Each structure stands twice: as C-alpha cells, then as structure tokens.
Amino acid sequence: MQATVGSRDRPHILRVMSPLAVPGEGISHEELQLATRNRGMPLEALRYDVTPVGMHYLLVHFDIPAVDPVAWRLRVDGKVSEPLELTLDEIRRRPSRTIPVTLECAGNGRARLEPRPMSQPWLVEAIGTAEWTGTSLAGILDDAGIAADTTEIVFTGADHGVEAHVEQDYQRSLPLSEARRDEVMLVYGMNGRPLEPQHGFPLRLIVPGWYGMASVKWLNRIEAITDRFHGYQQAGAYRYQQSEDDPGLPVTRIRVRALMVPPGIPDFLTRRRIVDAGSVTIVGRAWCGEAPVERVEVGVDGEWSDARLERPLGDWAWSAWSLAWEATPGERVVTCRATDAHGNTQPTEQPWNLQGMGNNLVQEVSVTVR
C-alpha cells in the first residue's frame, strides 16, 4: 500500500494517504477540484440553529452513487442469528426519532497546517447542524440477533473508488459499545425532507459526537464481526499520525471548537471585514463531541472576555453564543475559543499531524473598524 514515486517532479513526501505540500506551495488544481466538489458552510450560516440543507458542508470521497430506492435493500449480516434484508419502507415503519446533530469533518482546518497535507483543503467551514430523522441502530442490531462475541460493526456505503492505490467501497467500523449507543441512528430524513443524493440518499448512519467520517452515507450493508476491521478508511485514513511509520491513534470524537460569524461587511476577494465603530454584537456557535461546552471567550487584539453561552440545541448539537463589543477605530484581530467540561480548550498554535486531522485552532478574523 505504500506509494513509491511522485507522479510529478514535486519533492513531495509520499505516503499512504496523500502527499505533503512543500512549504509555501499554493493550492493545486487537484485540491481545488476537491474543494469545488466538497463545499463548506458559509460562516454567516452560523446564524441558523439548524443549517439549511444547501448550506450544510459536504464531503464525498468518490462519486455520489445512483441508488434506486425501490431496488435498494439494507443487508444486516455477519455474526448474526437472523440476517435481515430491509426495504426503505420497512425501515421507515420502525419507531422514528428526530434529533439535531452537529457534524464536522475531521479534516477541517487542514489547509492551514505547515506543511500542508494535500487533500480536501478545508479552512474552518466543514461544519453544519441538521435535524436527522430515522430509527435507532440498536433496535436493528437486536432484531438481527448479533452474536455475543461481536466486537465491531462494519458499515458499507454504495460509493466506490480508489484511494491511496486501494480500490474500495467506503467502509467504516464502530466498536459494538459505540454502535449500541442510544443516539446512533440510521436516518432517511434531513431537516424534514428525504435525504438529498449528496447527503446519503436513501439511508445513512449518524454517529453523534464523532467526526463526520463515522457517519457512513448511502448505507447498504451492516455486518457484525468478531475481530478488528482493517479497511482503508479505518486502518489507513483517519488516524492521528506523526509520520508514515507511526500507526497513530484512531480519530473518533469531535474536539471542542467555536466559530463566529465574521462581523461587519466583507471585501469580496480577501473576505477582510469592515466594521463601523460602536457597539457590535459578535455571535457564533460552539460544539464538542467529548463533553459539553462550558465556556466561550472572545479575544480582541489578544484580550479575552467571556461570551454569553446559550443552552445547546440538543445533546449532540451546537450552542449559540454572543458578546457585545465596543469597536474603536483601527485594525483589529477578533478571535474566539471554547472550552469543554473536561477543561480542554482550543490551541492558538495547532499541533501538526500527517493527515491534518482534528484541528481546532482558534479562529482569527481581521477587522478594519472605521
């Protein structure tokens, strides 16, 4: 699986996942191609409790598969006593629930790392909150009668492609204890409508609290296994590695983060902000998959003040926050940072890792107050 030689004569460090850009190297056409396929949420959409579907971030590794909902079946098999083959109608007839969940891509913030891992070049915008409607995964696992010695559940999507020279279906696993959690759902609805093709129609997994890669889209198979799953997206990708030889730890839950709606008006090209002097309300959202968000602070030119933090939209969704700022004329840098109930806070210098995973660097917005 190890890559050997570069396809271009760029002095990239080559490895399983993707090359590193050399310091100062601009975004390539290949990265731009990924960036235009995989949109981010415009930061002004932080104003909505629930992100409109068309503004929710999107991450698709391969192509969006064409799925015929009539012919489609969900297979539940492996180490089970009752293998199941469910139609969409059968899944829709099961007990249903709607919960708001904040999803974030584990690669969010990757483009700011030095050296930059070449992959989807997110800045900060790989985020969104939707109201997901579906049925509990645990109920389906119970109906299938999974074996007592089951260790992991493997989820397979209908999309297929090549990544790091490995041809594959998109597949991820969860330890049984995580898969059984009450809030883990198989969903067919997003914001009160059927899933759109790009978000996993007709059915996807939602794993609240975990980075987005766990929430397998276009789900067509659930398999109970009694050993470890070693598929590429589990054993190769989504690991906190320092080097290619470092097996690293797996990426799991979302680290604490706050983002603000950039205040004032933008300059078209640079997005630099222009704000009129006087009272300005800075607003944003904060979230964490490891523990509740306990505190949000806003910094102006390095001076921090506590923001007013609202109750979260749900157990697995973001909280709104706000702060009144008396803006005085000049060039200002506005930042925000959140802290969770475990005392984890966001770094002002992001620790580096090879795949650019789990970044939660403090957001910095440059503002001209006039």
For ligand MTE, the closer of residues 103 and 179 by Cβ is: 103
Give which of 38, 160, 42 is closest to 110, Cα–Cα: 38
Return the residue of 105, 124, 174, 300 that touches Mo ion, per CB under 5 A. 105
User: What single-letter amino acid sits at 235?
Assistant: A
| Binding pattern for the stretch 12-51 against ligand MTE, x by CB under 6 A and - elsewhere | ----------------------------------------
Contact 128, 41 (CB under 8 A): yes
Residue 212 as a binder of ligand MTE (CB under 6 A): the answer is yes
Q: 260: which 2 tokens? A: 């603000």
**How far is Cα 249 from Cα 257, in angstroms, rounded to an integer?**
20
| Binding pattern for the stretch 53-82 against ligand MTE, x by CB under 6 A and - elsewhere | ---xxxxxx---------------------
In whole angstroms, how close is the CB of 315 to Mo ion at the nearest point?
22
* Element housing 29 (H / E): helix 29-37
In whole angstroms, how close is the CB of 105 to ligand MTE at the nearest point?
4
337 binds, among ligand MTE, Mo ion, none (CB under 5 to 8 A by kind): none
| Binding pattern for the stretch 41-60 against Mo ion, x by CB under 5 A and - elsewhere | ------------------x-
Contact 367, 275 (CB under 8 A): yes
DSSP 122-179: -SS--EEEEEEEEEEHHHHHHHHTB-TT--EEEEEEEEEEEETTEEEEEEEEEEHHHH
In whole angstroms, how close is the CB of 239 to ligand MTE at the nearest point?
13
Residue 103 as a binder of ligand MTE (CB under 6 A): the answer is yes
199 phi and psi angles, rounded to 5 deg? -100, 10
For Mo ion, the closer of residues 59 and 153 by Cβ is: 59
Binding segment for ligand MTE (CB under 6 A), chosen from 43-51, 211-219, 242-250, 353-361, is 211-219
For Mo ion, the closer of residues 59 and 254 by Cβ is: 59
For ligand MTE, the closer of residues 58 and 153 by Cβ is: 58
User: What single-letter amino acid sits at 184?
Assistant: V
- 3-class DSSP state of 78: strand
Plot region of 290 (φ>0 → left; ψ -120 to 50 → alpha; else → beta): alpha
For ligand MTE, the closer of residues 106 and 334 by Cβ is: 106
Give which of 173, 294, 160, 149 is closest to 218, Cα–Cα: 160
For ligand MTE, the closer of residues 207 and 307 by Cβ is: 207
Strands across the sheet containing 319-327: 257-260, 278-287, 319-327, 308-312
For ligand MTE, the closer of residues 65 and 262 by Cβ is: 65
- 3-class DSSP state of 327: strand
262 binds, among Mo ion, ligand MTE, none (CB under 5 to 8 A by kind): none
Binding segment for Mo ion (CB under 5 A), chosen from 37-45, 100-108, 223-231, 329-337, is 100-108
Contact 35, 120 (CB under 8 A): yes
Return the residue of 170, 188, 210, 232 that touches ligand MTE, per CB under 6 A. 170
Return the residue of 218, 316, 321, 325 that touches ligand MTE, per CB under 6 A. 218
Return the residue of 65, 128, 134, 212 that touches Mo ion, per CB under 5 A. 212
For ligand MTE, the closer of residues 217 and 295 by Cβ is: 217
**How far is Cα 253 from Cα 232, in angstroms, rounded to an integer?**
19
Interacting residues with ligand MTE (CB under 6 A):
56-61, 103, 105, 157, 159, 170, 199, 212-213, 215-218
